[in-house]
Structure 1
Amino acid sequence: MPAPAPVVTGISPKEGPPGTRVTIRGENFGNSPRDLIGLTICGCNCILSAEWITPNKIIARSGPGNGKGDIVVITRLGGVGGCTVQFRGYMETVGPLKESAVWVEEEISSWGRRALTTTAMQQQDPLGLSVEDSSKSLPDDQMNEYFPHPSSESLSSEDFLPARFLLKHHRGTSFDDLKAGLSHLQRKVGAHKEGQLSFLKANVGAVMDQLDTLCVLRDKFEMDALQVRMMPTISLEQSIEASRREADRLFKEVLNRRDNADAARNALSAMQRNKFLFMLPTSIEKNSMKGDYDLIVNDYTRAKSLFSDSDIDIFKKVFEEVDKRIDALIARLKTHLTTMPCTLDDQKKLARNLASLDGENNHAWNAIEARFKYLLESLTAPPEKQPENLLSPASNPPALGANAGNQNWQGELPSKVQVVEDSLEVFTFQFPELWKLGQAYFSGELQVEASPGHNRLFKDMVLKSIKTLCDLVKENLTVPSGTLTPKHKSSSKSSTDFGPWLPHCLTEMIILYNSLRGLDLPSEALAQVNSLIQDLRFHCLFVILKQTTDQVRMLYKQENWMPDLQSSTLPGRQSSGLVTSLPSLFEGKITEAVTLLKESIFVNIPGESSVNPILTNPTVHSQYGSLVQNIFHAFTQTLEHLSSSKEVQSASPMFLSQILTGSVPSSRSSSKKHPSENPLLLILSNCLHTRDVVLPSVMKTLSSLTGGQETPPLALAREAAVNSLSTLDRSICEKYLESKTDPLVGTIEPSMYIGEFDWAKLPEKSATQRGDLRPYIKEIIANLISVNCEVQNVLPSQCQRIQSYIVEMIAEEVSRLMSCIPNFNEEGVLQAHIDLTFLRKTLAPFSTPTARAFFNEAIEAIPPLENDKQKRLLEQVFIGIEARMRLQLLSLTSPSV
């Protein structure tokens, strides 16, 4: 079936020279590139450059067509199409000042100016319009007929005629375009004239001075001619003669100076032979500016060996100047040697150069003392005064330490942590250079002999530097010395503000320790750093677990009361009911803390035994168990806090009698959004899930820090957690039963006597009228179904436990009410037997021995049925009620049945 013909409805751009990229839009361009078989623009075949994009869009390059023309698209099924728009092609003019892909010939006249060319390629339109194709212009024969007199359309011709130019190049140009071109030409002419006038205005003073000078010269020449009355050539001849005589005199003086020149030449030859010495002061200054001190030392040593003992006065004077320059250089080098900051290589070079220049041995030791002093000043200086070129911005600590509850983590780096970061960076950069400089001094690398007493002094410098760093880290991170004992807890309290940064600082200290081990330092120095690392480990352990305790204690703020189905159905960790995200958040906090401890504290450092020192410290073990116990207790506190929250208090039950009597709780009248499930049941489910599922997983995670074994302190923490969660389970269950039982039991008596009901005045009913329960029995069953449904949705495993307690309360209340009824008429006795028999049978799945005893007491309080007719009637009514309330009976079936 043929397709509709293609139609071109829009193009962009609408004109351009050959090779213009044209976007063609329209309809029915085919369903694929194979459908496009032809494309012409202004009569030129452009299918080779065509690119099919969509059925409504094609991109192609225009051909060498000139003037306006159609764009025709040809498809395989639609055939030749049409168009509603046209494209205008033109040949673009290329001049000497326009970018072009071809070379534009330029003709240079003999006067140095660029001549105007007459070629079409170089022709520039004075109107600022594009020159059209000459093929559409009038033939030359016809042009000559219109203009019989000599004329030309060339701008450079003397016979240039504007009319002929317009017919030649702008025959198809519209009148509006010609007006725009005229305005363009006027602006160009005005700008050219304005440029000449502006030049004259800017230099009017100089032009007037030139005119005045010319006038003065003319007047002076005329005045001289009147006074002297002689030809100017005579005066000129006299002047030439005087010049010749003066030239002879000057030449004679030159000959006289030749002898002096020979003498000077001999002196210069001597200076050239000893140029090295005479140029040495300048060379010293030049090489000193470039910092090439080795070359100065070599030149000075050479000059000293050659000219130091010379008796020639000129050589002595020059050598004195050289000594002055060397003395000044030595003073500068001493200053540079002890001025910090200075790189290690520069100090070594300066020390060697000074030793070569003056032969003293104390320069190297001065460099060591200067670097040691600079190291101590950098460590003890305030952060803003530390050397900027040796410090870089503190790197971010590991992401495991980040937590949403820490404000310092989200904001700026704590100032004390920043001090530690900067100090570690300064020490890491400067201390190895101090040590290497000392080693170079004692090994003779600096070309001097070390003094005997400097060895002990240098060791003291090393120990003092490391002790200063360790004291600074302890002071800023409030790290107690030794292990974690109760007296150290208060000192570590403030460090919890930047607790996430402590593992990062510990990692930096371990990195520093590894770098120091490669320097072959004394054992006392490494022992100080190792001791600080152990103290940091103990401190981080306490801070991280203390911070985890604080985070767990505040988890109640993240409770959203939405069941977490994923946590309830994890493989191998199925929960007995619905749980919220709180237990998983609790487990995540502990996992995060354990991961952070593994990556920082429980990482063995080189030279340490395979067993981490923390694992072999009984005090730390005990503290570790106490801190873990505090975390478990904090989560129990979180659940207790939630059980007393507004969400729990506002979730009060509503029963039928409360609605009828208007005693609706005030919290229900508000528009506050309540949880979809009963919050107390969710808390109870979280408690049981944590005790039975989460706690074993958490203990396995915590035991991974102690070699995968549950140590006695951890066992005590687990036992305490189980006891606290069990106690909380009983407390929450009692609170839930109280919230359900008191309103439910309290509605029985009002519902029994609603409508001024009296057991002794119950009217006699016919056989068809009998057969229904009293409203209070139906409400008891409906309320129990409501509670049963609520518990089954959240915590099915506790349904029997909760319903049994509620049934006991109901049975006790019904027994009390039946015992308080003074009189029954015959119809009242029958109705009471129907109600109690059905209620006792319905609640049998949840009845305990206590509940059954109360039901028996209630039935005994009712007068017995007098004859067999009433008993048969009771059985018939009972069968009918069971049939009508079969759904309610099934709803109260015990899950175990």
Structure 2
Amino acid sequence: MAPQPVVTGLSPKEGPPGTRITIRGEFLGTRPSDLIGLSICGCDCLLSAEWKSPNKIIAHTGPAKGKGDIIVTTISGGIGTSTIQFRAYHETIGPMKESAVWVEESSIQSLAWGRRNMAPVGYTQEDPLGLSIEGNDKKFPEDIRDIFPEGNGDLSQENFSPGWFLLENHHATSFEDLKAGLAYIKRKVESQKEGQLSFLKSNAGSVLDQLDTLMTIRSKIKEDNKLFGSDTLKDLENTIQSSISSSSEIFRDVLERREKADSTRAALTTLNRHKFLFCLPNSVDRCAEAGEYDIIVNDYSRARNLFGKVDIPIFCKVLEEVDIRILNIRRKLHQQLVQLPQSVEQQKKIIKTLINLEIQQADTKAADGFQAVDPAWDAIEARAKYLEATFKKACSQYSLKDANSEKSKYGGEIGELPNRVVFCEEICEIAASQLPDIWRLGQAYFAGELRGASDPKPGDFKKIILTGIEKMCVYLRSAIFYAFDHRSIRSMFPITWPTGGSTQALSQFLVYLPQCLRFIRIAYASLIQLDLPSEALDIIQKLIDEVRIFCLSSFFKRAIDKIKKLNESETWVFSVEDFPGVTVLPSVLEKIIVETLEEGQNVCMNPEIRENNLMDAHPDAQREVSQRLQDMLIAFCNVIELLAYQINEEDAHTPIVSQLIGFPNANQDGFSCRYSGLSWEQRMLCCLANCLYCDKSFFSYIGSVFVKFGYPTPKAAVDSGRTHANLLFSNLLETYVEHKGDPLVGTIEPSMYIGHFQWNTVEFNGKLRPYAQECCDNLVGVYSEIFTISPLLLHAILEPIVQTVAEELARLVSCVQDFNKGGVIQANVDIRLLRDALKLFSNDTAKSYFAEALEVIGTVSADDNRKIEDTLKVIKEQMSLQILCFSIDGL
């Protein structure tokens, strides 16, 4: 297991949510798929993580706040550690700061103790201590937020902290200057308190005049009470009320008509002045029918800003009616949002409209009638469901067609693509067109362009993308690998595609495997452009590698089928000059293998975009190639074996090779049978030559051809093929030796005792016995047949035959009970001649049998031995042509 990841560097070390940071460290993963977790200040940031190298990762921070560790998790090393921390903070937005939301520009309380600042947008305040800030440009060395986590250095904030303010603005000010600043603040406060007393001092005359006036009014009221009593005001009030009642009785009708006219005039004025509000319900309906939702959003926002806080009943009633219309539009738009197919731009437009309308209607009574939704996320889920439904529909459609074509007599019209091939193309087109739409919609959602009130769901979105890609791969596997059992796939997804199929349908489909692979690669290339996470792309890459291996395997299987039929194309024409007897069969095999390797290299071996070398990255591919080559070589050996034993019924009879017992070899019709100009024995010799050629050089050459085309060295397959060829050579050799040797050896004894011959009554006449002459002639015939086809087989065939002849002679001699002198000389001449003539093709065993035979015959005198040597010399001169044959080994 690899060491745990360690984070040692970070740039930058602080920032608001969404900050792009570069993470450096050690053992951060061996490849993109090895990275399975990234936490920054407790927030999961894996979706935005971009793996660069084992020492570098780039990511975007989440909605965290405060300091926290950066934890990296990998498959190889597990959960890591961090030696540094990242500080996340939320920026305060003011009127001078760019923002996507409205900032209320309320007036700020200044330090004038209750007086309002006349310039509310001027947030720059003078130093309350009255000190110069020159020389304080250097920043405080430590992070003040860590010292005062709940404080603030802004004078206008409620959580204002004097210590923060002093460290931020006066950390370099001397203590004496700070005391002077404190004295300055005290003077300002005292001047505020003395302001009222100084005002009275400067206006003392006016104050005295007011007091005199009040005293005069009081004296006048007392005099009036004495003259008219204390109820004067009450009588006056009664009189006024009586006059009002009388005037009302007189002018009641006039006043009613006036009030009605005033109210009508006021209503008309209100209608005319607020025509926009009263026409808004009809305007909303009209724009909704025309699809002009931008106008609806603008008009509704304007109405809420103008009349949202008004308590006038008529305005409230109209706004309630408008809220109901807006609520119905929101429901209609939400239904329209999840109805597919439609373009991503259309969905974005609807999402933005829904978000704006929801925000405007958030504080109204009508908002309770429609629960808060996340339209962007609903659109993403709708597209994911539509993708799955489209996959199922295509699978159902083409599987039904395929089932119907299987039931019919004919699989389809000539030249028509199989249904499975068309289905693969359809699935790849669906994925290449719909998955990018889901990804682009999700990117806009997480970037904040389409975000509503709900929090984003990066984990769920990642699951949607991975599930969509996995389902595409499962459907493609069910169609491409349909000849195998897919119970595991069916347990994951409800796939109704039938498995199996006829052999003809399978063969027809395998021809189009490269085309299916091309469809998958085109879809893969379109998804690579989306900058998907490596985990998602690895799913498709795994499928591509599986199809590449399967396609390569199908090429080799097709080649094996061709090799199995090579016996039909054997012409028995010799084609290898350096290896006599080898036919054109190996060259035909080489041609088939080269064509297969070229096709496999062009379709499967050459990697395309973001693909690995098939043989280096997948041991299964190496094993598959090695196994298929082994099957090819074994199939070729089986073809040779089939050709070797391809004989007629007449060929099965054992031939009689003796010329002395009246059945010459030329009369055997079975062995005069010709096949393409060659007898069965000659064809057997060609097969032996082919086996020997394969074992010695051809199969090793085939291994070098594989290496030439970029395949790994198939040493195991070549060794297995050579072993099989060697075993076949041994079996064929045993058959041929048995076929040639048994009849030859079987004629020695009858030929030796023909005419009631006895070794104890023979008179030596200085000639070779007929049985020895016939044995030598028969061996010359075998030699001639082998030398004509393949001289390289002479030793392999003649050595066991000579050994058998020597063994038979030793047996026959040992069975003789008595030799006379002539018999001893005759036996020595016969056996020594055969021994000397066959010396080149006698192995140690044969030599021991000849020696054993001579030992059984017994020793001879010096005169007899000289006589034997002279006789052998004469006979050898007479049989010089036969003996000369056995002096050429053919190597």
TM-score normalised per structure 1? 0.47
